[in-house]
């Protein structure tokens, strides 16, 4: 009897190992890494070298150099392309810059393997210095928002206005960590099937509002080894532990924009942002968008873009 059990146990384990090997071979071929810099995604993209990375960026509206420039900063997992629907409208009246943080999009990995909040703020400062931007209007989504409100508190002289779009940095995110993700987790992420990545974007965007083109581009980016390494590195390093004390230090006009159906950051956090910033005596404009999710610029929320244009144009007398 024991011999029978032993024989069938070995067969069962052998079958499992064979199936695992077949999956690894199939995944290795089907989900092989894709180059990005020699693809269509790199068209009209410029590059500059900062202290620890080569940064990919786009600059539009440079003929309006008499107006304060806008700098967009993207969310975790994504890249500067998430602003494609908003940037052109602003570029009609002012310079508009957007760039990929190290380890995302077309930017290189960080040479010093530092993906912390402070390192990301340093990248923003270096970018502004190299572009000759003394003062800018900063617009950030999710992780980008967390970077920018910390930057606005630390460098108020460099910020004219601040826009936080479903910003990270509160309740569970200010002390968040990677959950113990190992350095090699990017190899495991390689085997995530396309349908799961597609569903991830659907989850972030309420009512599946993201276009098929956007989701296909997201999946194509995820099939790049350096991007997966950058995502893991940033999930391990990026923390904003002083949010409660930082927000009241912000003293520039601020707009908080939030999706009412945000599945990642509950809408109650928008009110919390407003209250904490106003604790320092700085009034905040708050806009909640019904039926919208976490990625407002991707979801085609026209009211959000109009609110952004109005808020940015107020000081310019537009």
- The residue with tokens 């409660």 is 244
Distance CA 194, CA 98 (A): 27
3-state secondary structure 81-138: HHHCCCHHHHHCCCCEEEECCCCCCCCCCCCCCCCCHHHHHHHHHHHHHHCCCCCEEE
Provide the percentage of residues in the chain whose pLDDT is more than 70. Answer: 79
User: Residue 264: pLDDT band by 50, 70, 90 thresholds?
Assistant: confident
Q: What pLDDT shows up at residue 260?
A: 94
Give the distance between the most distant pair of CA atoms in the chain.
Answer: 88
How many other C-beta atoms are found inside a 10 Å radius of the C-beta of residue 316? 13
Task: Quick: pLDDT tens for 4-36.
Answer: 555 555 555 555 555 445 544 545 555 555 656
The residue among 18 and 121 whose pLDDT is bigger is: 121
77-113 pLDDT per residue, tens: 999 999 999 999 999 999 999 999 999 999 999 998 8
Fold of 41-314: Rossmann fold (3.40.50)
Predicted local distance difference test score (pLDDT) of residue 44: 82
Q: Which ranges of 107-224 does DSSP label H, i.e. alpha helix?
A: 117-130, 143-154, 185-189, 194-204, 212-222
Is pLDDT of 161 > 70?
Answer: yes
Does the pLDDT at position 140 exceed 90?
yes
* Measured distance CA(187)–CA(177) in Å, rounded: 20
**78 conformational bin, left if phi > 0, alpha if psi -120 to 50, beta if neither:** beta
CA distances from 232 to 62, 186, 246 (A): 35, 7, 26
pLDDT at residue 156 in the model: 95
Kindly state the average pLDDT of the residues 55-59.
95
- Is residue 168 pLDDT above 70, yes or no? yes
Please tell me what DSSP assigns to residue 288: E
Contacts of 194 (CB under 8 A, 6+ apart): 219
| Angstrom distance (rounded) from CA 148 to CA 82 | 17
Domain boundaries, the chain: 41-314
User: What pLDDT score was predicted for residue 209?
Assistant: 82
Confidence of residue 250 (pLDDT cuts 50, 70, 90): very high
DSSP string, 256-268: EEEETT-SSS-TH
Average pLDDT of the residues in 31-56 = 75
Contact by Cβ (8 Å): 75, 82 = yes
Residue 174: predicted pLDDT = 41
> Could you read off the pLDDT of 200-220 as tens digits, one per residue?
899 999 877 888 999 988 888
Give this prediction's pTM. Answer: 0.86
Return the higher-pLDDT residue of 302 and 35: 302
Confidence band of 39 (pLDDT split at 50, 70, 90):
low
Q: What is the mean pLDDT of residues 117-122?
A: 94
Say how far apart CA 90 and CA 304 lie, in whole Å: 13
Mean pLDDT of 43-54: 88
């Amino acid at each position: 009897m024991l011999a029978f059990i032993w024989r069938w146990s070995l067969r069962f384990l052998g079958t499992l190992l064979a199936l695992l090997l077949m999956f690894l071979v199939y995944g290795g071929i089907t989900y092989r890494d894709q180059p990005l810099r020699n693809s269509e995604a790199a068209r009209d993209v410029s590059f500059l070298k900062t202290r620890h990375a080569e940064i990919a960026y786009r600059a539009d509206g440079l003929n309006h150099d008499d107006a304060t420039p806008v700098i967009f900063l993207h969310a975790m997992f994504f890249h500067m392309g998430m602003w494609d629907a908003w940037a052109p409208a602003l570029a009609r009246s002012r310079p508009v810059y957007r760039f990929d943080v190290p380890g995302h999009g077309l930017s290189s990995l960080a040479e010093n393997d530092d993906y912390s909040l402070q390192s990301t703020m340093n990248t923003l400062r270096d970018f502004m210095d190299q572009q000759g931007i003394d003062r800018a209007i900063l617009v950030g989504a999710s992780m980008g928002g967390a970077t920018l409100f910390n930057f606005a508190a630390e460098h108020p002289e460099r910020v004219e206005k601040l826009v936080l779009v479903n910003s990270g940095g509160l309740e569970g995110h200010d002390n968040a960590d990677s959950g113990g993700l190992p350095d090699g987790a990017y190899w495991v992420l390689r085997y995530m099937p396309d349908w799961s990545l597609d569903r991830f974007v659907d989850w972030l965007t309420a009512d599946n509002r993201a276009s098929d083109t956007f989701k296909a581009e997201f999946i194509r980016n995820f099939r790049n080894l350096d991007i997966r390494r950058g995502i893991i590195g940033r999930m391990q390093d990026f923390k904003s532990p002083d949010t409660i004390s930082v927000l009241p230090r912000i003293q520039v006009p601020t707009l908080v924009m939030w999706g009412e159906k945000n599945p990642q950051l509950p809408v109650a956090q928008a009110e919390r942002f407003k209250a904490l910033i106003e604790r320092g005596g700085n009034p905040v404009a708050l806009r909640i968008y019904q039926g919208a999710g976490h990625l407002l610029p991707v979801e085609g929320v026209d009211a959000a873009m109009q609110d952004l244009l109005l808020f940015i144009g107020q000081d310019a007398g537009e």
